[in-house]
Amino acid sequence: MSVLGVDIGGSGVKGAPVDLETGEFARDRVRIPTPQPATPEAVAEVVAAVVDSFDTTGPVGCTFPGIVRKGVVHSAANVDPAWVDTDADALFTEATGRPVVVLNDADAAGLAEVRYGAAKGRDGVVLVLTLGTGIGSALINDGELVPNTELGHLELDGRAAEKRAAAAVRDDEDLSWEEWGGRVDRYLAHLELLFSPDLFVLGGGVSKRFDRFSDHLHRRAEVVPAALRNQAGIVGAALVAAGREDTPA
């Protein structure tokens, strides 16, 4: 059984049918650049184009980079402010002609890592962090998701953590892996004090270079790279759309 997942990012809207038995893409991914400005109507057109790229039927899962409660967007820290209070479920359902369920992008990645990836079979508190342009977070306790944690906005060294330790910051400030790894370590230390996790899973594109900065991480909890990397959002969205996981409310 395959279900279509779509992942809305700052630079691209990506989608693919997902084989829910394996968590792998059933077809090659399609990517269309995110429109600028990324207003709800403009993004809905692109989501519809991604969906129309595949000959699938049935529900669609879609991620969004912000707080999503019962399909309604409640924050827009890194996207167009017009998204706030938008019923994304209804918007994308109308645009695609298919039932669409929308959830936070990091929550989708976390669900995917728990079902298929680095956190599979792990009990206790798991924190999945997506390190990219910003920092997304998924908090999972014994397999149950606590949705919309948005822990990238915690304060770190006087600024939002994602302004200090996101992957994009390493490039923007020309930091060495040691310097950036030290910042990530301080961020994880702060999260340890607050949540006492048993496992950190670090995702985003930087996860494939985990060995470049892992020696600079000194946490009590185990820290591992994400297994699904940038595919996790699409996989988690498809998983929710199929009803294999409860939709975060």
DSSP labels, 133-165: SSEEEEEEETTEEE----GGGSEETTEETHHHH
Classify residue 70 as left (phi > 0), alpha (psi -120 to 50) or beta. Answer: left
pTM: 0.94
What are the φ/ψ torsions at residue 59 (nearest 5 degrees)? -70, 160
The whole-angstrom separation of Cα 240 and Cα 162 is 27
Q: Is the peptide bond before 37 cis (omega within 30 degrees of 0)?
A: yes
Task: Please write the tens of the pLDDT for every residue from 16-37.
Answer: 999 999 999 999 999 999 999 9
- 72's enclosing H/E stretch is strand 72-73
* pLDDT at site 245: 55
What are the φ/ψ torsions at residue 21 (nearest 5 degrees)? -75, -35
More confident residue, 64 or 10: 64
**Token couple for 75:** 């924050």
Task: Please write the tens of the pLDDT for every residue from 195-225.
Answer: 999 999 999 989 999 999 999 999 999 999 9
Task: Please write the tens of the pLDDT for every residue from 101-153.
Answer: 999 999 999 999 999 999 999 999 999 999 998 999 999 999 999 999 999 99
Please report which confidence band the pLDDT of residue 249 belongs to, taking 50, 70 and 90 as the band edges: very low
CB of 48 closer than 8 Å to CB of 96: yes
Point out which residues pair with 30 in neighbouring strands: 15
Task: Please write the tens of the pLDDT for every residue from 68-106.
Answer: 999 999 998 778 999 999 999 999 999 999 999 999 999
Please report which confidence band the pLDDT of residue 231 belongs to, taking 50, 70 and 90 as the band edges: very high
- Count of alpha carbons within 13 angstroms of residue 59, beta-carbon side: 17
Task: Please write the tens of the pLDDT for every residue from 155-183.
Answer: 999 999 999 999 999 999 999 999 999 99
DSSP labels, 165-209: HSHHHHHHTT--HHHHHHHHHHHHHHHHHHH--SEEEEESGGGGG
188 exposure class (CB count in 10 Å sphere: 0-12, 13-18, 19+): buried
4 to 19, 57, 134, 179: CA distances (angstroms):
9, 8, 25, 39
Q: Which of 223, 17, 203 is nearest to 113 (CA)?
A: 203
The whole-angstrom separation of Cα 1 and Cα 149 is 31
